[in-house]
Chains A and B, each alone.
Chain A
């Protein structure tokens, strides 16, 4: 592959990413969903007792909601991205420009991913900003226990939430590339959502109960689902309550989902003409 090809690929990638961003902004349903997501996250901060105390309790308040809502948002953004291009014929038009599959899939992922990152990170930062507003000032006559709470924990949590969102988005993108009909896409997307949010954890519990799974293997099973990996990372790295298990497995799990899902998307976007 020549240098010119690579420049061309990257140019294609950003052109497609720009197109995706425009599409997202012009889709009222997605904008509405993003607003609902942002409001929900801030409302949880306001409704819970965490934001009135510190960053760590706010993280713990937000974890279950982020775990359920971020995959929903990511799937909503991506589950038909490639499929709708294919169904509308835009994909065929794009192919006449000799766009490579990685450039196309990368562009779609980048464009949708950027939108997702703005919504997730922005909402979480807004929720985090309620802490200094809602918590009472510290009395000056007492020594502060600096080990107890820190905005660093919240920043870590936010970065992990973005990583989690990107992993689920990649999976949803793979669904949109692999599915041949809208019905297939929605069935696959909902199936994966249920598996991530409930299924893998429930299966792990069932495995423990039946004795087929040792407690030692639980971190690995959790690392195998984006939700489990995200949760392990938050508890183990962001708020440091989960003991001393190495975060490597969970991190590898998240990155692995991105890599595998994007590879599937590239391979299934279209069949290359020999």
Chain B
């Protein structure tokens, strides 16, 4: 210790003092950088619908935007809609997730002479680009008639005079930011209402489309195979339009049955067997309002996919997929056959069952497709490409995917059963589709949405004994009232701005997997019970799965609810190492009440947006949302005590 002399102590003291003088400079340096608008593309988009923006990019109309700089989130939050931003910035959820709004910037139309065209779209003079202005200093024109596809919009102006003259020209009222915020409703409930009405509209469209196809099966019989014509091929050649070709019970070897007119090929039931020669597809529908019903098809070729030669580089991936998936062998092919229908048909196929290419408003109803025993050997039950169709009340056994869609926007896939295949419903490049009330058992994935689709509706499905219940990509998906039980993974929360409500996630290996980077998905009012791991989440910041004061049901937790409001008194972190075992291991409760864990928990509940990954429910429910469903599943939390 000879080193510690009075002399060295002097030096050490002087050096330490210097370090602290230098460190104290930090009190002079500003801790927070400047707050100024950034390009909208560089923001994390939440709230509002991106459908509007996609349409706007094509049609060139204006969508007023907002960007919010929060005190405790690393990135800038972008909104596709000023009113949504107004509703969202001061909710407890956004305060919890992102902190206080330091600044809100909105699109400024004061200097670009905006106008409203006949469709209600907002356009600027000579398509000039508007700038940004502070929302707190802006004036907003509401009820002017300006709108985007999803609804009316508020138009912001940095200059009150410009706002007034816009209101004078187009009607409406000029309000300030505070008023806009006061008037904005609950952002989630308006989204839920919109989703529900979209679900209803899809069902209504499917009902009408199905009802319209009824007429196809009421056509008078003009030709009976074996009486009026020797073969099925000859019968469909000779039958006049708008009549039925009847095929009595029996086995018919066919080569390629081509329906080139609006006729209906009708059998006597599954005893009417069309057997192909094992090459290519068996029945082709190439005319509008053609139909096949009440028969069985087998003898389909074995080619599932005809890949485009790799050397042809002018073909983009989209087209490549379409060709690869849409040109294989199938029991029945619809090709440009708008308003056609396949009903009550049984298909045995080593490749695809039905391929519908560019056949708008077609209906696949009550069909059974038996695919290959090994999914990788077979192909799709139904392939929908390019147009909107209905697939309902059908059964898909084995094979690869039950229903595969490619750019089939708006399609309705409902009340089907898929078993032992690869994916139950597999959507590619397909937006605004309804996947409802399907039952999937023993697949790799129940419902999977790929390639950044927008606005899909996945409701009332029941996926069990599969590897994954549900896996979405893209954005603005409505995932409601589904049951994911007994799978390796229940449901994936990924993509952006998805809404998950009233799902039952029970008895899976991992209940919910949070795999999105940005905290823009809404997960509330779900029952997540009896999963080995409640939540697995490793990406992005801490997410809060609570909205409007409502959270999820995580089982009967050993927490208090002193005020009896049905919400446990403290926030619950299902992804946390201690909370994850709460209600299962007695030790977890004791540990969770320790001062150290309490202190960390208290700190965790501040500035979620800057914290490491994980999931917090700020309002965990004491009672399930769907108790009957849980009871039917016999799903409870298991306690080791």
Q: Which residues of A contact B (CB under 8 A)?
A: 11, 14-15, 17-18, 21-22, 25-26, 44, 47-54, 56-57, 60-61, 63-65, 110-111, 114, 117-118, 121, 134-136, 138-139, 141-150, 152-153, 155-156, 158-159, 162, 237-238, 240-241
Q: How far is the CB of B15 from chain A (nearest CB, A)?
A: 10
Q: A147-B69, A148-B72, A241-B606 are in contact. Are A49 and B612 (CB under 8 A)?
A: yes
Q: A143-B42, A147-B69, A162-B20 are in contact. Are A134 and B9 (CB under 8 A)?
A: no
Quick check: A49 and B614 within 8 Å, CB to CB? yes
Q: How far is the CB of B627 from chain A (nearest CB, A)?
A: 33
Quick check: B20 and A148 within 8 Å, CB to CB? no
Q: A49-B542, A52-B612, A53-B612 are in contact. Are A141 and B1 (CB under 8 A)?
A: no
Quick check: A150 and B603 within 8 Å, CB to CB? no
Q: Which residues of A contact B102 (CB under 8 A)?
A: 147
Q: How far is the CB of A258 from chain B (nearest CB, A)?
A: 14
Quick check: B606 and A152 within 8 Å, CB to CB? no
Tell me the complex Cα distance, A142–B99, Å.
Answer: 19
> Which of A18, A64, A111 makes the CB contact (< 8 A) with B602?
A64
Quick check: A142 and B42 within 8 Å, CB to CB? yes
Which of B25-33, B162-170, B271-279, B564-572 interfaces with chain A? B25-33
Q: Which residues of A contact B32 (CB under 8 A)?
A: 146-148, 150, 240
Q: Which residues of B contact A152 (CB under 8 A)?
A: 26, 29-31
B5 an interface residue at 8 Å Cβ cutoff?
A: yes
Tell me the complex Cα distance, A10–B96, Å.
Answer: 53
Tell me the complex Cα distance, A156–B27, Å.
Answer: 6
Q: Which residue of A lies closest to B30 (CB)?
A: A152
B631 an interface residue at 8 Å Cβ cutoff?
A: no
**Which B9-30 residues have C-beta < 8 A from chain A?**
9-10, 12-13, 16, 19-20, 23-24, 26-27, 29-30
> Which of A18, A52, A61 makes the CB contact (< 8 A) with B613?
A52
Q: Which residues of B contact A49 (CB under 8 A)?
A: 542, 600, 604, 611-614
Tell me the complex Cα distance, A21–B12, Å.
Answer: 11
Q: Which residues of B contact A64 (CB under 8 A)?
A: 599, 602-603
Quick check: A63 and B603 within 8 Å, CB to CB? yes
Quick check: B611 and A53 within 8 Å, CB to CB? yes
Q: Which residues of A contact B69 (CB under 8 A)?
A: 145, 147
Q: Which residues of A contact B39 (CB under 8 A)?
A: 143
Q: A25-B1, A57-B610 are in contact. Are A111 and B33 (CB under 8 A)?
A: no
**Which B514-534 residues have C-beta < 8 A from chain A?**
517
Tell me the complex Cα distance, A50–B23, Å.
Answer: 22
Q: Which residues of A contact B23 (CB under 8 A)?
A: 155, 158-159
B43 an interface residue at 8 Å Cβ cutoff?
A: yes
Quick check: A52 and B75 within 8 Å, CB to CB? no
In the A-B complex, the 3 residue pairs with the closest CB atoms: A52-B612, A146-B33, A143-B42
> Which of A25, A148, A238 makes the CB contact (< 8 A) with B73?
A148
Quick check: A51 and B612 within 8 Å, CB to CB? yes
- Per-position binary interface string of chain B over residues 458-478, scored 1 when its CB falls under 8 Å from any chain A CB and 0 otherwise: 000000000000000000000
Q: How far is the CB of A40 from chain B (nearest CB, A)?
A: 9
Quick check: B76 and A143 within 8 Å, CB to CB? yes
Q: Which residue of B lies closest to A162 (CB)?
A: B20
Q: Which secondary structure dominates where chain A touches chain B? A: helix
> Which of A44, A61, A142, A159 makes the CB contact (< 8 A) with B26?
A159
B310 an interface residue at 8 Å Cβ cutoff?
A: no
Tell me the complex Cα distance, A118–B12, Å.
Answer: 11
- With A60-B606, A240-B31 given, name 5 new contacts (CB 8 A): A50-B604, A152-B26, A152-B30, A156-B26, A156-B31
> Which of B9, B20, B35 makes the CB contact (< 8 A) with A147?
B35
Quick check: B610 and A56 within 8 Å, CB to CB? yes
Quick check: B542 and A21 within 8 Å, CB to CB? no
Q: Which residues of B contact A52 (CB under 8 A)?
A: 611-613
Quick check: A21 and B4 within 8 Å, CB to CB? yes
Q: Which residues of A contact B20 (CB under 8 A)?
A: 159, 162
Quick check: B44 and A142 within 8 Å, CB to CB? yes
> Which of A22, A50, A158, A237 makes the CB contact (< 8 A) with B603?
A50
Quick check: A111 and B9 within 8 Å, CB to CB? yes
Quick check: B33 and A147 within 8 Å, CB to CB? yes
Tell me the complex Cα distance, A143–B38, Å.
Answer: 7
Quick check: A14 and B612 within 8 Å, CB to CB? no
Q: A147-B32, A240-B31 are in contact. Are A60 and B603 (CB under 8 A)?
A: yes
Q: A21-B4, A147-B33, A147-B71 are in contact. Are A60 and B26 (CB under 8 A)?
A: no
Quick check: A54 and B74 within 8 Å, CB to CB? yes
Q: Which residue of A lies closest to B1 (CB)?
A: A22
Tell me the complex Cα distance, A53–B608, Å.
Answer: 9
- Per-position binary interface string of chain B over residues 262-296, scored 1 when its CB falls under 8 Å from any chain A CB and 0 otherwise: 00000000000000000000000000000000000
Tell me the complex Cα distance, A81–B20, Å.
Answer: 25
B175 an interface residue at 8 Å Cβ cutoff?
A: no
Tell me the complex Cα distance, A146–B72, Å.
Answer: 10
- Per-position binary interface string of chain B over residues 590-634, scored 1 when its CB falls under 8 Å from any chain A CB and 0 otherwise: 000000100110111011011111100000000000000000000
Quick check: A150 and B614 within 8 Å, CB to CB? no
Q: Which residues of B contact A136 (CB under 8 A)?
A: 539
B114 an interface residue at 8 Å Cβ cutoff?
A: no
Quick check: B16 and A117 within 8 Å, CB to CB? yes
With a 10 A CB-CB cut-off, give which of A111, A139, A149, A238 has the most chain B CB atoms.
Answer: A149
B541 an interface residue at 8 Å Cβ cutoff?
A: yes
Q: Which residues of A contact B29 (CB under 8 A)?
A: 152
> Which of B10, B596, B606 makes the CB contact (< 8 A) with A57?
B606
Quick check: B9 and A17 within 8 Å, CB to CB? yes
- Per-position binary interface string of chain B over residues 538-552, scored 1 when its CB falls under 8 Å from any chain A CB and 0 otherwise: 010110000000000
> Which of B10, B12, B24, B541 makes the CB contact (< 8 A) with A159?
B24
Q: A14-B9, A143-B39 are in contact. Are A57 and B611 (CB under 8 A)?
A: yes
Q: A57-B603, A153-B31, A156-B26 are in contact. Are A138 and B74 (CB under 8 A)?
A: yes
Enumerate 20 A-B pairs (CB-CB under 8 Å) in ascending A order. Answer: A14-B10, A48-B604, A49-B600, A50-B603, A53-B541, A54-B611, A56-B72, A57-B611, A60-B606, A61-B603, A64-B602, A138-B74, A142-B44, A143-B38, A148-B32, A149-B610, A152-B26, A152-B29, A156-B26, A159-B24
Quick check: A53 and B71 within 8 Å, CB to CB? no
B151 an interface residue at 8 Å Cβ cutoff?
A: no
Q: Which residues of B contact A237 (CB under 8 A)?
A: 27
Tell me the complex Cα distance, A26–B75, Å.
Answer: 50
Quick check: B600 and A148 within 8 Å, CB to CB? no
Quick check: B611 and A11 within 8 Å, CB to CB? no
B639 an interface residue at 8 Å Cβ cutoff?
A: no
Quick check: A18 and B8 within 8 Å, CB to CB? yes
Tell me the complex Cα distance, A156–B5, Å.
Answer: 31
